[in-house]
Amino acid sequence: MDDYRRRLGDGLDELRRLHSSLYHDKEAFDRLLDMMEVFASCRSDELRALDRKREGDSFWFMGQGAVGMTLYTELYGGDLKGVASHIDHLKDLGVTYLHLMPFTTTPLHDNDGGFAVSDYENVDIKLGTNEDLEELARLLRKDGISLCMDFVMNHSSDEHEWAMRAKAGEKEYQDYYLCFDDRTIPDEYEKTVPEVFPETAPGNFIWSREMGKWVFSSFYPKQWDLNYANPALFAAMVKAMLLWANRGVEAFRLDAVPYIWKRLGTSCRNLEEVHVIVRMIRIILSVVAPAVILKGEVVMAPRELAAYFGTPDRPECHLLYGASGMVNIWGALSSMDTRLLYSQSEDFLALPANAVFLNYLRCHDDIGWGFDEDRERQLGIDPLLHKIYQYEFYSGRFPLSYARGELYNYDPKTKDARSCGTTASLVGIEAALESGDGKALEMALRRFELLYTLVYSLRGFPLVNSGDEVGMLNDYSYRDDPDRKDDSRYVHRMKLDWNKVALSHVEGTVEKRLSDCLRRLKALRSASPFFDPQAEVLTWHAHNDRVFALRRRIGDDLMLLVFSFSPNEEEARFDFFTGLYKDAFTGRIVEPGRGVRLSPYERLWLTRV
């Protein structure tokens, strides 16, 4: 416990000050400290050794060979033991970070894919036991894979014990939520708080008949927002987090973290109290379990993102989802225009070195077309028409679109909508296989390789959505399921086909080409000093808006990474890149400063000869 007491001494004053700024409750703070000591004393010798190894290295997860994967337990392995039985597949792809979608107890129905939590402290019985989770974490750790847990911060299910006791009239648990006797205060909130799902879940409050009260509910009616202004609720959530950290979880994805503090007269998004809470959690983990990191799900405007990293002296999240990058990559592909991608990338790269993004193409969620509208207007792009084009293109409705996808949360009043679909279906593999058009299939495969090569090229590290590696296609069977038919996100939430995994080792198959792409990207990243976390990364213009490029530098050595978003041959030129450069994928020799001819959807990783 000497290490614990030393770390506590380092963080105690700031933690006390932050806690007092929100709660003004010394007894609650003392109880929090007691709880921290209990969890520190219960931490296993193996995890304490990991703490000592990682303490002081807040970027341990950023090795140049780092690769993440996200998956649903039930879709990948059936249950936690099934996931453990397929660790070899993760190792084959070079995965070092495994993000399991929510695995805690949820209601049988209306559980929002696991994001309506009815018990924060136990594994859902459908997926296994707490002991199964601990064993999976141990086996992953043995193979150098860190386990990430989805921690649903903003809301619980209305079937959680806290909610049930609140419904039964217990004031103590009603205070775990934001409950109101009449519409007076809710109506004031509604004046300034945007609706998350205006069509499928309008408004921000639901009526609880059992309590006779209105309850804040930002997302779906079965999800009640938690009241972080209550120190007992904060302590309960910290307890759950420390419990999972002691079971072997090494990373927490903080779901919907910008929403967790409510204040009248505001949007109830990104408030300063949110950052106080995240900073307190960071301090608590650094004291009790310093091997553990925080990943924020912050799907907000780019200007809001930097604050979630905190500062070098007072850090908050270790990394964030690169949602803006994902959106702009898909936007560049459909429009064959990289200008918004350049703008967004330059914004990200201008952030301090502690701003680390987890880069991805697809995840469990939709693609929300949140472009920088001011920048769009500067470029002469109409934001609404551009958004409509994107979701029409990726639904396959736009003339000559190769994509196959679904609309999500279409709002006929605002014309807003999001897009769903697997990577393979969105890049055209589904349509090409249906038509039997070999040329179209080749172009679709090139799009896949282009996009994933870019994801592996960005600052930060890549995240692969389970199923992408073998080209899983959209699953339209959700339309026939009464529990899922109204949520088109289930079109890309299907069981991994292990027959396709077997084909990923068979020459000449689509599955092998896709998996080989990811395996090779992992190998090249791992072997190249240009992907060291300390490498400088900048955008580099190509004198062609259909081409995107990055420059990586270590010392005086340069690497040029080039991506053509065009289905046609293109010319590009890269000033100041004099002399000969060799492509890591093909061995091709080019002179970037004098001009490069690019084939459709070509990607190049160029280093000096």
Return the closest-CA partner of residue 117 out of 69, 83, 163, 175: 163
Say whether pLDDT at 483 is over 90: no
Q: What is the mean pLDDT of the chain?
A: 96
Mean pLDDT of the region 429-455: 98
Chain length of the chain:
609
Residue 56, pLDDT > 80, answer: no
Give pLDDT, residue 197: 85
Cα–Cα distance, 427 to 404 (Å, whole number) = 8
- The C-alpha atoms of residue 561 and residue 542 are separated, in whole angstroms, by 11
Report residue 595's pLDDT band, with 50, 70 and 90 as the boundaries. very high
255 is annotated as an active-site residue: yes
pLDDT of residue 132: 98
Cα dihedral 588, 592, 594, 595 sign: positive
> CA of 560: how far to CAs of 232, 480, 544, 581, in Å?
52, 48, 15, 9
pLDDT tens digit string along 9-43?
Answer: 999 999 999 999 999 999 999 999 999 999 999 99
The owner of tokens 């992907």 is: 531
- Which candidate in 255, 337, 392, 469 is catalytic? 255
**pLDDT at residue 172 is higher than 90:** yes
Question: Torsions phi, psi of 435, nearest 5?
Answer: -85, -15
Dist CA 60 CA 71 (whole Å): 23
Question: 96 pLDDT band (50/70/90 cuts)?
Answer: very high
What is the C-alpha separation between 245 and 289, in angstroms, rounded?
7
Chain centroid to Cα 59, Å, comes to 18
Q: For residue 305, how many other CB atoms are within 10 A of its CB?
A: 25
Reported as a pLDDT band with limits 50, 70 and 90, residue 195 is very high
pLDDT of residue 508: 97
Helices (H), 43-183: 45-54, 73-76, 80-85, 87-92, 130-142, 161-167, 171-174
Amino acid identity of residue 111, one-letter, is N
More confident residue, 413 or 200: 413
Q: What is the pLDDT of residue 2?
A: 87
Instruction: Dump the DSSP string for 7-71.
Output: HHHHHHHHHHHHHHHHH--HHHHHHHHHHHHHHHHH--HHHHHHHHHHTT-TTGGG-TT--EEEE
* 297 a catalytic residue: yes
Q: Which residues contact 344 (CB under 8 A, 6 or more apart)?
A: 302, 324, 325, 328, 372
Complete edge-to-edge strand list for the sheet that includes strand 557-564: 536-539, 547-554, 557-564, 603-608, 581-583, 589-590
Task: Give the DSSP letter string of 440-458.
Answer: HHHHHHHHHHHHHHHHTTS
pLDDT above 80 for 335 = yes
Decide if pLDDT at 305 tops 90.
no
Backbone dihedral angles phi then psi of residue 554, each to the nearest 5 degrees: -125, 115
* Catalytic entry in 132, 297, 337, 468: 297
